[in-house]
Amino acid sequence: MSLKRKELEILKLVIDGKTFGEILSKLDTSERNLRYMLQNLNFYLKKILDKVIEKDKERLLISLDEREIDNFFSTVYENYYVLDSFERVEYIVVAFLFLKDINLTNIEKRLEITRATLKKDIEMVNFKLEKFGLRLEAEKNRFRIVGNEKKLRHLKALKYTEYIEKDITWLDKKYLFSEMDIVRLDSLKKIVLKIEEIFSLTFDIKFINLMNIFLYVTLERIEEGFIIDRKANYKFLINTEHYSIIEGILKDVIPKRFSYELVHLTEYFISGGVKDNISELKSSVEKYLEGLEMKCIEELSSSIESFEFSEELKIKLMGYLIPAIYRLRNNFSIGKIGEKGKFYEMVFIYSAEEDFLPEKLTEFEIYYISSEIEKEIGKESQKKIKLSHLLDIIERNSFSINREDIVKELLDSYGNLIKIDKI
């Protein structure tokens, strides 16, 4: 017998006061399976703490203090826990990221799985790494993660952050993160706070923690001989006042000759609190938005009277674009692209051709901008219907009346304003 992730999730839900029905819904399982998992969970609660979960009508009850909870989970993870395939893949990724001289035999023993199972897991690891532009490279039964250096650092920083913030105990944190230099991490946090002060910006706590970790990872990789030596907007950033500040503050940890490394860090630090004080970029974004607004006006001239971007939309897009250009927001999170609206292609073409921004926008950024514009158009189109447009539709159909064509054209133009009670 053993415990799995879902059973430990049940215990956490019980501790949070969820009812039997709420847990059923949350875990999307059958009542029979839930009862079986509760029975298994109670076996180990009795064995480790001499306590069990009791059912009072729909309520599941157990009284545990913080010490008992910590004791139970640490004992389970150490002695009675079985990783599922998702957790094994996560474990293998983290092992290759943080452990040196790791081989398949080490992982087999640690996970207590067969070589055949491990090979299947390795395939899933590669599938996961592909999303980051990375891959596993094998040499004499030893593997290492290779690929885009910047993305590898992002992945390491994400895993460090998860370790610190989420306490991912099922990854055996003592084993995988035992070499983390806490003293160095603390000293780098002081540097991050100093940068915040001299930049005269305000970083939120999440950004401070993320940059603390990313700076730690950057120094790790530099010391291992992996140096970044290219940057698309290098000339733009190296001439900013912010670059000079970063170069001066980091001179004791990153040599001046590694200017591309310093440019990357400058870009990220700017993104954490950039407001109106970067006049060059603010001007570029304003010009980009002015051109985009003109494109939208041309596109909508036949259907919406006097369309223009509202101040609310301009502020929203300015607030999004300035940090987005510096990439930190999108490097450390993968945005999901939904269904692309009819304005996506127009924004895409305009963004590819314009010369205002120092760096081209990503697909997700274009999706976000086009979605916000379409929301604005939706609001505007509900306010007015152009009489001239209605007359055009009537005139086009006056000589040869085709009811279906008229209905279709009206719905295409004003569908959200028309109550469809008859076709």
- All structural domains of the chain with their residue ranges: 5-79, 85-151, 182-271, 279-381, 387-417
Instruction: Provide the token pair at 80.
Output: 């009675």
> Using CA atoms, how far apart are residues 221 and 149, in angstroms rounded to an integer?
9
Domains 5-79 and 85-151 are alike in CATH topology: yes
What's phi and psi for 141, nearest 5 deg? 70, 10
405-410-412 Cα angle (round to 5): 95
E strand spans, 96-209: 134-139, 142-147
Asked if 192 and 250 count as a contact pair (C-beta separation under 8 A), the reply is no
Asked if 147 and 132 count as a contact pair (C-beta separation under 8 A), the reply is yes
> Using CA atoms, how far apart are residues 198 and 179, in angstroms rounded to an integer?
32
Check residue 277 and report its DSSP letter: T
For the chain, the C-alpha Rg in angstroms (whole number) is 28
Residue type, 177: F
> Using CA atoms, how far apart are residues 289 and 287, in angstroms rounded to an integer?
5
Instruction: Provide the token pair at 253.
Output: 């940890």
Structural domain 5-79, CATH architecture: Orthogonal Bundle (1.10)
Half-sphere exposure of residue 317: CA atoms within 13 angstroms, side-chain side? 28
pLDDT, one tens digit per residue, over 234-279 is 887 888 888 999 999 999 999 999 999 999 898 888 777 654 445 5
Structure pTM? 0.60
Asked if 388 and 396 count as a contact pair (C-beta separation under 8 A), the reply is no
pLDDT, one tens digit per residue, over 294-307 is 888 888 776 666 67
Residue type, 180: M
Q: Distance of CA 8 to CAs 4, 31, 61, 215, 306, Å?
A: 7, 17, 15, 34, 59
Half-sphere exposure of residue 129: CA atoms within 13 angstroms, side-chain side? 25
CB within 8 A of 9, min separation 6: which ones? Answer: 27
CA 402 to chain centre: 51
CB within 8 A of 306, min separation 6: which ones? Answer: none
Check residue 167 and report its DSSP letter: -
Reported as type and span, the H/E element at residue 352 is helix 344-353
> What fold, for 85-151?
Arc Repressor Mutant, subunit A (1.10.10)
- Written as tens digits, the pLDDT of the chain (423 aa) is 688 888 988 998 888 888 888 888 888 788 899 899 999 999 999 999 999 998 887 788 888 888 998 889 888 888 888 888 888 898 899 888 888 778 888 888 888 889 999 999 999 999 888 877 899 888 776 788 989 898 899 888 888 887 776 655 566 676 777 778 889 999 999 999 999 999 887 888 888 888 999 999 999 999 999 999 988 778 878 888 889 999 999 999 999 999 999 998 988 887 776 544 455 667 788 888 989 988 888 887 766 666 788 888 887 887 777 666 655 444 444 445 677 877 888 999 998 888 888 777 878 788 888 988 888 877 655 555 666 666 777 777 776 777 777 777 776 766 655 656 565
CB within 8 A of 153, min separation 6: which ones? Answer: 214, 217, 218, 221
pLDDT, one tens digit per residue, over 152-201 is 998 888 888 877 766 555 666 767 777 788 899 999 999 999 999 998 87
CB within 8 A of 392, min separation 6: which ones? Answer: 302
Asked if 337 and 369 count as a contact pair (C-beta separation under 8 A), the reply is no
